[in-house]
Chains A and B, each alone.
Chain A
Amino acid sequence: MKNLRSMLRKAALVMTVLLLSLVVFGAYNVSTQGNRWFSSSANTHLRELRANATAGNVYDRMGVLLATTDINGKRVYNPDSNIRRSMVHVLGDRQNNVGYGVEAFMANRLYGFDTSPLVRLTHAIRGEKLKGNDLRLTVDSNLSSRIARLFPKDHKGACVVMNYRTGEVLSLLSFPNFDPDNITEATKQDRNRPFWNNATRWVSAPGSTFKVITLASALQNINNIENETLNCSGIIEFPGGRHNLLDAGKAVHGNISLKQAFTKSCNVVFGSLALRLGDAQLSNTAAAFGIGDYFLFRDFVVENSSYPKHNRTQSEIAWTGVGQSALQISPLHMCMIASSIANGGDMMEPQLLLREINPNNEVKEQFSPRVYKKALSKEHAKIISNYMYSVVQSGTGTGARVKGYRICGKTGSSEIDNQEKSNAWFIGFIDEENYPYAVCVAVMNAGSAGKVAAPLAGEIFKAILGVR
């Protein structure tokens, strides 16, 4: 019996731990993902809950009214259809077709779900509907609608503009967009998925824009790489003959420095660098930039970026070094990466909420910048920033130039299977004290980044700087 008792004690302990683990699991999941579940499109009850309260108003950073509730309880958006279209992926729509829009994701704030029953009671006694809090977002609707008009028509893609010092998101655009006041059957059946937010939830291989990470990895792990003479013979051959790494337009660069290779976006050099670094070092650097993280931002639901893990042959590693293979990164994340380089290595957390004000005009929540992670050292960030300046000055990104301002950037064209043309990416930032803004544009099926993405970014920079 003694033996039985001691065994019983052990087994009972395990069982109790199992039962307690239920609580722990539940609490952890709800605390981290609860808000997402609540605001996802699957939660149809959100509509019911919304019906019983008057949602607060949503303003952009300048005070432009983006959404309000009229006397009949209907949600009314900005009268300008351009603004509506450019804001729709940020705000969401009335039926929650766009998942995780502000109207759903921040429903707690907007609808006042957290108000105490006492306040609700007073409202009920007075016969008023409960009113939620007003929100002021960090986005600039004017800028966004301008960018939306600049974006190439009939192309899918995304555009993100962030303040790299604070993490405020100025623009978050996804294309194709739609008018929330005019959702038709066609919109719902559109195979280009206008409801999907490509800026945050579409991940893809970013092409040569990834070379900033390969560059960072080389600077961190290879001594004196800046002074080395690298050779580009136009091709890296792999056994089997398939997946040979070539440069765009079959260019052969010969002996060049690292800076020149970056400026001209030489695939061969960066592919060789990737092979030299090895998968482990390259993936570690990528992880430092947040690739592979499980994103749990307060204001955004972002698809996780991933570094490929399977089938790591030599050719795969080389192609990863130039931003192809199975890399998956979202445009918002690429913008964050650009921001970290601009911001001396500190990657700020992207935020959308500037201020939350309750019906009594008290500020319930105020924006404060948060560092998400430290991606790389200040010195390396400076070096890469210089290289990116030279890309815009004399390299593949000259289309993004704005006279009189220091613009830094990197182009990237990524080839996608079964897609006729490559995706055109551009990441960049304005390296000026008064205009600390980073941009990422991605245009799908558009061809060369230098011809499509860079000029678009240039226009965006001009719009930000207020230059004609």
Chain B
Amino acid sequence: MRKNKKRLNKKRINKKPLVNKLAFTIVLFIFSGFAMLTVKNMDMQTLVISIAVPLIFLMSTTLIPKIFFADKLLLSLVNFLCSLGVLVLYRMDPAKGVNHAINYVVGLITMVVIMLVVKNLSRFRKLFPIIGLFSIAMLALPVVGGKEIGGAKAWIQIGSIGFQPSEVVKIMLVVANAYFLSKKKIFYSMAFTGMCLLLLVLQRDLGTALLYYVVTLIMMFVASGSWALLAGGVIGAGAVAVLGYSLLKRIGFAHLERRLLAWLNPWGNYKDAGYQTVQSLLAIVNGGAFGLGLGAGNASQIPVKETDFIFPFILNEFGMIFGVCLVLIYIIIFLRGIAVAMRCNHRMHSLMAAGCSFFIAFQTFVIIGGNINMLPITGVTLPFVSYGGTSLLSSMGMMGVIQGIASINKRHIMQDELLADIGEGLA
């Protein structure tokens, strides 16, 4: 078989340039951004970063595809988003910028590791049951001994490192659900997700719970093709929402009411409940179509701007046209992930890739929706760009899953080509 593989590789005549046009433009963008910041700050650290980050980008987009098969478009775009995050966070606060850059590198490593794991998924078949128990244990931890941030008890502090188990469990959720659904064991899937949701609700992290629920529902719908299931899921969610709303105060979710008020009438309450929303909208409007310029914006007043509200900050400095393009980038990432899922030959792989893609897309929808006041504010972050180690790692992990599945697809295509050659007597 190995001999055949080599022959196959020689058939590839089309040589692709080392750095394709897209990657080049991205590097130019990141570099000019950092160059501006260097001009603004005039210090050594900025100079170092402005060389380091484009370098990381170039290395990851050129080296990784050489060593493993990786979807180049996805790789470029995801790296772009991470670098953009470093750029903007650096402008906000150099310490955070450097931190994010480190997380970026760690994220790349995570992505590669998970890619390798997924590529050889069959070898890890034995581990699947353990994954289920592990996720539940992880989610149970914050409920027992967690730290409370922003009304939700979703963090665990180990020494000086804090992390959110719900982010780590995200991937396991997708994988476990893909496994159960590919074997048509819908009840197992429901039970597992239900357990996770319950724990999340106990953690009071409703934003993530919403994400989990919707993505699982989509996966179930896609796997089973039953519209009844979808309708049941939507109606069930609606019923829970209505029920929950009337019981809000009693079960300790008072801060939800504030959020709903802020969503429906932010301008009336712009000094207290609606403050975040109003500041976010103002930041976007102050920016205008082209923005106020990197480093020259006036959006420093938005609370939580490094994580949840980084999108308005970006729009303040880069403008609304940029914002539209940014959403477009996320759409492209999503569609590429779905394309990978469509090309799969096995249900489980397809569901894994699809689940990860939907996760990223829906999370983007929820967070940007909250920023422009289309949806109430939830606690989720913008994937790849927001500050937050675990968030970046989990998003990179999901990307790793998609890349791994793409790699499996590639392997299947190569096997098919081999079969075709055998059939024609060429092999």
Partner-B contacts on A (CB < 8 A): 1, 3-9, 11-12, 15-16, 18-23, 25-27, 29-30, 34, 37-38, 40, 42-45, 48-49
Contacts and interface: CB of A to CB of B under 8 A. Distances in A.
Nearest to B181: A4
Contacts of A8: 222, 338, 341-342, 350, 354
A25 B341 contact: no
A25 B270 contact: no
A264 B327 CA distance: 63
Interface in B324-377: 324, 327, 330-331, 334-335, 338, 341-342, 344-347, 350-351, 354, 357-358, 361-362, 364-365, 368-369, 372-374
Interface of B: 218, 221-223, 225, 267, 270, 278, 281-282, 284-286, 298, 301, 320, 323-324, 327, 330-331, 334-335, 338, 341-342, 344-347, 350-351, 354, 357-358, 361-362, 364-365, 368-369, 372-374
Contacts of A4: 222-223, 225, 347, 350-351
A23 to B, nearest CB: 5
Contacts of B222: 4, 7-8, 11
Given A4-B223, A37-B281, A26 B334 contact: no
Nearest to A18: B365
A99 to B, nearest CB: 10
B250 to A, nearest CB: 28
Nearest to A29: B372
22 contacts: A1-B344, A1-B345, A1-B346, A1-B347, A4-B225, A7-B225, A8-B341, A8-B342, A8-B354, A9-B342, A12-B335, A12-B357, A15-B218, A15-B362, A19-B330, A22-B369, A25-B372, A37-B281, A37-B285, A43-B282, A45-B286, A49-B298
Q: Pick the most buried of B222, B270, B345, B347: most chain A CB atoms within 10 A of its CB.
A: B222
B285 A38 contact: yes
Q: Provide the main secondary structure of the chain A interface.
A: helix
A19 B354 contact: no
Contacts of B368: 22
Given A8-B338, A20-B327, A22-B372, 15 more contacts: A1-B344, A4-B351, A7-B223, A8-B342, A11-B218, A11-B221, A11-B354, A12-B334, A12-B338, A18-B361, A19-B331, A25-B374, A30-B284, A37-B282, A45-B282
Given A8-B342, A16-B334, A19-B331, A45 B298 contact: yes
A42 B334 contact: no
Contacts of A48: 298
Contacts of B330: 19
Given A18-B365, A23-B324, A29-B372, A42 B267 contact: yes
Contacts of A23: 324, 327
A42 B270 contact: yes
Contacts of A43: 282, 285-286
B347 A15 contact: no
Contacts of A1: 344-347, 350
B361 A19 contact: yes
A97 to B, nearest CB: 14
Contacts of B221: 7, 11
A34 B327 contact: no
Contacts of B323: 26
Contacts of B223: 4, 7
B342 A42 contact: no
A197 to B, nearest CB: 16
B282 A34 contact: no
Q: Pick the most buried of A6, A12, A38, A48: most chain B CB atoms within 10 A of its CB.
A: A12
| 6 shortest interchain CB distances as A-B pairs | A12-B338, A42-B270, A7-B222, A45-B298, A26-B372, A7-B225
Contacts of A20: 327, 331
B342 A5 contact: yes
Nearest to B373: A29
Contacts of A30: 284-285, 320
A49 B365 CA distance: 32
A44 B334 CA distance: 38
A43 B284 CA distance: 12
A48 B292 CA distance: 13
Contacts of A25: 372, 374
Q: Pick the most buried of A5, A15, A37, A38: most chain B CB atoms within 10 A of its CB.
A: A15
B182 to A, nearest CB: 9
Contacts of B334: 12, 15-16, 19
Nearest to A113: B288
B225 A38 contact: no
B364 to A, nearest CB: 7
A3 B224 CA distance: 8
B404 to A, nearest CB: 18
A18 B335 CA distance: 13
Contacts of A21: 374
Nearest to B299: A45
Nearest to B293: A117
A22 B338 contact: no
A455 B3 CA distance: 105
